[in-house]
């Protein structure tokens, strides 16, 4: 296959050409080697939840219609989907727990390299959560707030702390449906329990609990991760940065920060400023130390520090092949095990850091926030000492592209003058038709970035404000859609608003846990208007998703009332009942549903139709799509 059919990104295409000449295997080669992929698994009708099995049911009706225990396609598909959601929700929430523990221990004075950076946000959050703040030092508040939120992980019996941020109508709906998330760990454990053989055998009941589990991520684990990362590392503010492989500098020590959790990378950002280390870099012949981000760790450090991003998910193997990456420091999630294989062909040092995420072939340095700064310095030093070991010709195939970053909810509101009113007015008048969150991954089954960029272009052309997170932010950044000048590509209404505010038509909200910012923003708009989230002209999309986390996100976004279009088919099509429930009947239950549409042009139409129909229902001027 020609590289042009695998990615629209020039840096990916260039390095892929090199990989082929050099005979280095990539994710695309391994996808090809897996084909044809298992049809039963793709349809979700295979089960290995016990050793009477594994079982599969025949979607064409000729073979068995039930597993050995008697489970039919509906039960098997629903159980598999629920477990997928639990894995995704657990990933985000365990990240949230790591941040929360670091936050709490910063309050008790047991960490090094961390401080309460945004004291104002700490006080605001604490007051919101019912912690007395008057006359207290930040660390004391952090201890009390940390302790309170730690309880969200166990069973609080009724509701998670941040559920009260949702509009009243939404809270009441969740209560009526019995899906108010109670404890983050509890909902995930209950999913594993329910999906054991012979527990919950009603596919509707299983899926309702799966939604509850996803809500414990969106309004729990992810929201805690975002809010406390802001307090610890600073609430993002708009700033300019760069993106693509051109972010690497041939004459610098290049360090890629890859994974998701900012508690390590933020300390490294600080360590890299250390004058001793900078001097050492010069001694080994480098002009300085250059940090770049990959995947969501990249989004985190770009949002807060303007660190440039080297790429999204499908660039993680290719960045090593530039020959100029001196270290790839990984934390966890979305890090392909293959990176250590590729690193063997180059001088790149892959350093794993979390004891729960080890990579054979990597050097493991166990990270401990109690010795945060010291370990951060050690990691940077390892990269510096590796610089002289470079071999072969450097290849940095492109110039970096500018992108604007840093749109926390606080920053968006402040750009609007402190209240959502100007945005609401622009939406009411129709200058902005509505807003869409375009989020999620790359997937080698889809031409890299094509889904994200095509969809986003169509949306902004039609005056829909777009917010992006995760690998979608990187894709749209690389395509040049995240600079204020990109307002010229927007429809006349959105263009005028962006020009007046000096913002791009596509706003970077952060990493995947920062999808919680979308919930906060949606709730703020709904509360301002006195309606439910499902009434707003909003939509979500994940055009190139691959991960279990993306399914959890889709679950909580829809359960929060936002229509969502997926670009890749989930493994549920072996059960027409489950498909009908998620793509139709859910609308009558939570006021939103899923659609699957691989063609981004058609996905844009679905989103525009949804936005216009919600406008009409709100009594706002609407157009026919
Ligand atoms: O959490 S978008 S490929 S990097 S899963 Fe992973 Fe997907 Fe990228 Fe971030 Ni999110
Ligand atoms: Fe088969 Fe049922 Fe066991 Fe699944 S739980 S493997 S369907 S017997």
Give yes or no for residue 52 CB within 6 A of ligand 2.
yes
Q: Residue 592: name the closest of 607, 577, 571, 603 by CA.
A: 607
Query: Under a CB-based contact definition with an 8 Å cutoff, are residues 519 and 223 in contact?
Result: yes
- Cβ(235) – ligand 2 distance below 6 Å: no
| Cβ-contact 551, 77 below 8 angstroms | no
Kindly report whether the global pTM for this prediction surpasses the value 0.75. Answer: yes
Residue 68 beta carbon below 6 angstroms from any ligand 2 atom: yes
Residue 488, number of CB atoms within 10 A of its CB: 10
User: Which protein residue has the closest C-alpha to ligand 2 atom 6?
Assistant: 53
CB of 27 closer than 6 angstroms to any ligand 1 atom: no
325 sits in the region (left: phi over 0; alpha: psi -120 to 50; else beta) called beta
Which ligand approaches the C-alpha of residue 546 most closely?
1
How, if at all, do strands 46-47 and 55-56 pair?
antiparallel
Give the tokens for residue 45.
């009708």
| Per-residue pLDDT, 91 | 98
Is 409 near ligand 2, meaning CB less than 6 Å away? no
Look up residue 217 and give its DSSP letter: I
* Ligand 1 centre distance from Cα of residue 540 (Å): 16
In this structure, is the dihedral angle defined by the CA atoms of residues 97, 103, 108 and 111, taken in order, positive or negative?
positive
Q: Which domains does the chain have, with CATH numbers?
A: 3-56 (no CATH), 73-233 (1.20.1270.30), 245-389 (3.40.50.2030), 404-617 (3.40.50.2030)
User: Which ligand lies nearest to the CA atom of residue 74 in the structure?
Assistant: 2
**Which residue intervals of 69-152 are DSSP H helices?**
73-107, 119-128, 138-150
Single out the residue of 620, 20, 1 nearest to residue 318, CA to CA: 20
Residue 246: predicted pLDDT: 98
Nearest CA to ligand 1 atom 1: 512
**Could you give the count of Cα atoms lying within 13 Å of 12 in the half-sphere of its Cβ?**
29
- Residue 533 near ligand 2, beta carbon < 6 Å: no
* Residue 48 contacts residue 487 (beta carbons within 8 Å): no
Ligand nearest to the CA of 80: 2
pLDDT of residue 156: 75
Q: Which of 51, 52, 80 to mutate to test the pocket of ligand 2 (most atoms within 8 A of CB)?
A: 52
Instruction: Give 442 Cα–ligand 1 centroid separation in angstroms.
Output: 8
277 alpha carbon – ligand 1 mean position (Å): 31
DSSP conformation letters of 261-275? -HHHHHHHHHHTT-H
Do the beta carbons of residue 373 and residue 112 sit within 8 Å?
A: yes
Cβ neighbour number for residue 337 with a 10 Å cutoff: 10
Task: Identify the H or E element spanning 240.
Answer: strand 239-243
Tokens in use for 555? 């679950």
Cβ-contact 45, 56 below 8 angstroms: yes
For 510, list phi and psi in degrees, rounded to 5.
125, -145
Element (H, E) at 499: helix 492-501
Measured CA distances, 218 to 165, 328, 361, 617 (Å): 12, 29, 34, 27
3-state SS class at 205: helix
Indicate the top mutation candidate among 54, 83, 203 to test ligand 2's pocket, ranked by most ligand atoms within 8 A of CB: 54
Between helix 372-386 and helix 275-283 the angle, nearest 10°, is: 10
> Across the strands, what pairs with 256?
292, 328
pLDDT of residue 444: 98
Cis, peptide link before residue 54, omega less than 30° from 0: yes
> Distance, CA 335 to ligand 1 centroid (Å)?
10
**Is the distance from CB of 327 to CB of 386 less than 8 angstroms?**
yes
Q: Check pocket membership of 576 for ligand 2, CB cut-off 6 A.
A: no
Quote the radius of gyration of the chain (alpha carbons, Å): 24
Among protein residues, the one whose CA lies closest to atom 3 of ligand 2: 50
- Nearest C-alpha to atom 7 of ligand 1 is from which residue? 441
Identify the residue whose C-alpha is closest to ligand 2 atom 2.
Answer: 69
Q: Which letter does DSSP use for residue 65 in this model?
A: S
* CB distance 53 to ligand 2 below 6 Å: yes
pLDDT for the residue numbered 380: 98
Say yes or no: CB of residue 313 within 6 Å of ligand 1: yes
Of residues 206, 211, 74, the one with CA closest to residue 577? 74
Tell me the ligand closest to 331's alpha carbon: 1
**What are the phi and psi torsion angles at 84 (to 5°)?**
-60, -45
Contact predicate 575/44, CB 8 Å: yes
Ligand 1 atom at shortest distance from the alpha carbon of 439: 2
CB of 295 sitting under 6 A from ligand 1: yes
**Residues of the chain falling short of pLDDT 50:** none
Burial class (CB in 10 A: 0-12, 13-18, 19+), 402: middle
- Find the 294 Cα to ligand 1 centroid distance in Å: 10
Paired with 309 in beta bridges are: 243, 293
Cβ neighbours of 116 (radius 10 Å): 18
What pLDDT is recorded for position 61? 87
Relative to the alpha carbon of 65, which ligand is closest? 2
Cα–Cα distance, 341 to 188 (Å, whole number): 33
Cβ atoms 301, 241 nearer than 8 A: no
User: Which atom of ligand 1 lies at the shortest distance from residue 474's CA?
Assistant: 8
Q: How far is the CA of 546 from the centre of ligand 1 (A)?
A: 8
The 10 Å Cβ neighbour count of residue 235 is 20
For 597: left if phi > 0, alpha if psi spans -120 to 50, otherwise beta; the answer is beta
Cα–Cα distance list, 623 to 90, 610, 612 (Å): 41, 11, 6
Note the ligand closest to the C-alpha atom of 66: 2
Can you give the pLDDT at residue 157? 77
In eight-state DSSP terms, residue 502 is T
Is the distance from the beta carbon of residue 438 to the nearest atom of ligand 1 less than 6 Å?
no
CB 160 within 8 A of CB 152: yes
Query: How long is the chain?
Result: 625
End-to-end CA distance of the chain: 36
Asked whether 259 lines ligand 1 (CB < 6 A), one says no
């Amino acid at each position: 296959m020609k590289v042009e059919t695998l990615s629209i990104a020039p840096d990916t295409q260039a390095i892929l050409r090199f990989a082929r000449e050099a005979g280095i295997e990539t994710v695309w080669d391994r996808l090809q080697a897996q084909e044809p992929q298992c049809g039963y698994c793709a349809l979700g009708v295979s089960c290995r939840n016990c050793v009477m099995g594994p079982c599969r049911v025949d979607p064409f009706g000729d073979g068995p219609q039930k597993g050995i225990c008697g489970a039919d396609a509906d039960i098997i598909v629903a159980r598999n989907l629920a477990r997928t959601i639990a894995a995704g929700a657990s990933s985000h929430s365990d990240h949230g727990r790591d941040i929360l523990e670091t936050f709490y221990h910063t309050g008790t004075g047991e960490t090094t390299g961390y401080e309460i950076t945004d004291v104002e946000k700490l006080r605001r959050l604490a007051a919101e959560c019912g912690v007395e703040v008057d006359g207290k030092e930040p660390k004391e508040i952090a201890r009390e707030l940390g302790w309170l939120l730690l309880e969200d992980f166990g069973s609080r019996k009724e509701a998670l702390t941040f559920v009260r941020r949702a509009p009243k109508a939404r809270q009441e709906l969740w209560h009526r449906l019995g899906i108010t998330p109670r404890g983050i760990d509890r909902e995930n454990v209950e999913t594993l329990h329910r999906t054991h053989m012979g527990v919950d055998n009603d596919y509707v009941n299983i899926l309702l609990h799966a939604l509850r589990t996803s809500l414990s991520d969106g309004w729990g684990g992810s929201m805690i991760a975002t809010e406390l990362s802001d307090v610890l590392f600073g609430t993002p503010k708009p700033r300019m940065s760069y993106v693509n492989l051109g972010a690497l500098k041939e004459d610098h020590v290049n360090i890629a920060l890859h994974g998701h959790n900012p508690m390590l990378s933020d300390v490294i950002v600080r360590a890299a400023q250390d004058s001793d280390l900078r001097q050492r870099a010069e001694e080994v012949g480098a002009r300085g130390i250059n940090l770049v981000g990959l995947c969501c760790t990249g989004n985190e450090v770009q949002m807060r520090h303007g660190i440039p991003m080297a790429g999204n998910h499908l660039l993680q193997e290719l960045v090593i092949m530039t020959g100029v990456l001196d270290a790839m420091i990984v934390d966890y999630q979305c890090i392909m095990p293959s990176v250590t294989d590729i690193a063997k062909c180059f001088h790149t040092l892959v350093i794993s850091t979390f004891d729960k995420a080890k990579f054979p072939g990597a050097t493991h340095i166990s990270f401990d926030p109690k010795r945060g700064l010291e370990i951060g310095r050690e990691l940077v030093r390892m990269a510096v000492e590796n610089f002289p070991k470079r071999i072969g010709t450097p290849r940095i195939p492109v110039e970096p592209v500018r992108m604007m970053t840093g749109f926390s909810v606080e920053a968006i509101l402040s750009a609007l003058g402190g209240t959502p009113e100007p945005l609401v007015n622009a939406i009411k008048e129709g200058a902005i038709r509505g807003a869409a969150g375009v989020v999620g991954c790359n997937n080698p089954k889809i031409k890299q970035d094509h889904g994200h960029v095509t969809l986003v272009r169509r949306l902004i052309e039609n005056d829909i404000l777009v917010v992006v997170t995760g690998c979608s932010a990187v894709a749209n950044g690389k395509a040049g859609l995240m600079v204020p000048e990109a307002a010229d590509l927007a429809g006349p209404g959105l263009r005028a608003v962006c020009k007046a505010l000096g913002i791009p038509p596509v706003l970077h909200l952060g990493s995947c846990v920062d999808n919680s910012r979308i919930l906060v923003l949606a709730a703020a708009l709904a509360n301002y208007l006195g309606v439910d989230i499902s009434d707003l002209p909003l939509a979500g999309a994940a055009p190139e998703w691959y991960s279990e986390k993306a399914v959890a996100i889709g679950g909580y976004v829809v359960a929060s009332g936002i229509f969502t279009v997926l670009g890749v088919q989930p493994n549920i099509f072996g059960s027409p009942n489950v498909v009908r429930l998620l793509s139709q009947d859910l609308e009558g239950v939570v006021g939103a549903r899923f659609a699957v549409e691989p063609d981004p042009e058609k996905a844009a139409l679905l989103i525009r139709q949804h936005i216009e129909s919600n406008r009409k229902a709100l009594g706002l001027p609407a157009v026919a799509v």
